[in-house]
Amino acid sequence: MDYKRLVIKIGSNVLTGPDGLPDRLRMERLVEEIASLKKEGREVVVVSSGAVASGRALVSVPERADEVAARQLLASVGQVELIRRYADLFRGFDLVVSQVLVTKEDFRDKTHYRNMLSCLEILLSEQIIPVVNENDVISVSELMFTDNDELAGLIASMIGANALIILSNVDGLYTGDPRDPGSVLLEEVLPTLSDLSGYISTSKSNFGRGGMLTKSHMARKTARLGIAVHIANGKKDHILAGVLNGSVPHTRFLPLRKPSGQKRWIAHASAKGRVFINDGARAALLGSKASSLLPVGITRITGDFNKNDVVEIADAHDHLIGLGMARYGSETARGLIGKHNEPPLVHYDYLYIQEDTKG
């Protein structure tokens, strides 16, 4: 597959052995594969877990430390070791890496978002491989991503990647528990497939925060933004080449058309409030003609937001149908609920409608 710009997410369960410590040989082989992709002229961003596991190999967690403090300790120590290892390995192929640590808050703020995009673009233009990870030292509770799959989807959307490859410790999405001999690998997921819950085991890996359920939700969302998503087994040798030439069985989420960069940001942004609309407004927003969200169609608002914050838009049954950027704050919006001839709360240029709500 002729993808020019790729995001490759490497999970904790790929970079660690059964004992929870770093699998150095696996990391070496993946670096070699990524270096080969670079030689082919592809642009690559690596989203890598493994800081906590790397820290676990270097220090012991004191008994007095709670879960958050333990994660901060291991991540702070381990991230240095993780990026050092990447730098040393890629240097063997005459490639330079950079470190990019982010939090969920960086995607909520439009200025931070643009600054991060500018940084990634200059790195890619200089043939440098960005190695991105969540800043676990300061990311706690509500500041945390669901897992690095979510982060990888955000990065892929941000840079307009052609594809996102998620490396896990299974071959992809199955029609049941992968350990069940009767389960079959789903090699292709169409954008129209709305319910994947029956195919997915809810079990997690021993070392990551997420599981196949979160991977599938993120993969569908990213594919609907025009980015092909592949879930494959990173424990296998030559996995990246196999995914790209189609020789290795894995799961591929087929992409839809790609929306504007503005709408890609809105689709992944963290909403500050929820706006409920009536059936008439719902029909207008989901119709074939581009429509803005007018106050006359709003029934109620929960949460507080300011101008340019992203808000969720839900129908009368509390079903999320999209997200949009507010043109004014929640205080003004509440005063305009149900009124005619008022400016739109969300203009259609800043409105992202979820594909599975259409039709």
pLDDT at residue 199, rounded to an integer: 57
Topology at the third CATH level for domain 271-357: 2.30.130
pLDDT at residue 210, rounded to an integer: 47
Q: Is the pLDDT of residue 131 over 60?
A: yes
pLDDT at residue 225, rounded to an integer: 84
Give me the percent of the chain exceeding a pLDDT of 90.
60
d(CA 359, CA 181): 37
Q: Is the pLDDT higher at 192 or at 33?
A: 33
pLDDT band per the 50, 70, 90 thresholds, residue 26: very high
**Does 49 belong to an annotated binding site?**
yes
Q: Is the pLDDT higher at 29 or at 288?
A: 29
pLDDT band per the 50, 70, 90 thresholds, residue 179: confident
CATH 3.40.1160.10 is held by the domain 5-262: yes
Closest alpha carbon to 71 in 91, 93, 82, 55: 55
| This prediction's pTM | 0.78
d(CA 112, CA 173): 34
Find the mean pLDDT for residues 104-113: 81
Across-strand partners of 47?
Answer: 9, 132
Q: What is the DSSP letter of 251?
A: E
- C-alpha of 120 from chain center: 16
- Per-residue CA distances from 273 to 13, 302, 318 (Å): 35, 6, 13
Structure tokens at 35: 């270096």
Domain coordinates of the chain in residue numbers?
A: 5-262, 271-357
Q: What is the DSSP letter of 270?
A: P
Q: Is the pLDDT of residue 140 over 70?
A: no
**Does 9 belong to an annotated binding site?**
yes
Model pLDDT for residues 188-228, shown as the tens digit of each residue: 988 766 556 555 554 544 334 446 777 888 898 888 888 99
pLDDT at residue 143, rounded to an integer: 58
Q: Is the pLDDT higher at 215 or at 94?
A: 94
Find the mean pLDDT for residues 17-40: 94
**Does 66 belong to an annotated binding site?**
no
Q: Is the pLDDT higher at 71 or at 6?
A: 6
**Does 330 belong to an annotated binding site?**
no
Beta strands in the chain, from DSSP E residues, in sequence order: 5-10, 43-48, 97-102, 129-134, 163-168, 173-174, 185-186, 188-189, 228-233, 251-253, 273-277, 298-302, 310-314, 320-325, 351-353
Structure tokens at 260: 């504007």
pLDDT band per the 50, 70, 90 thresholds, residue 260: low
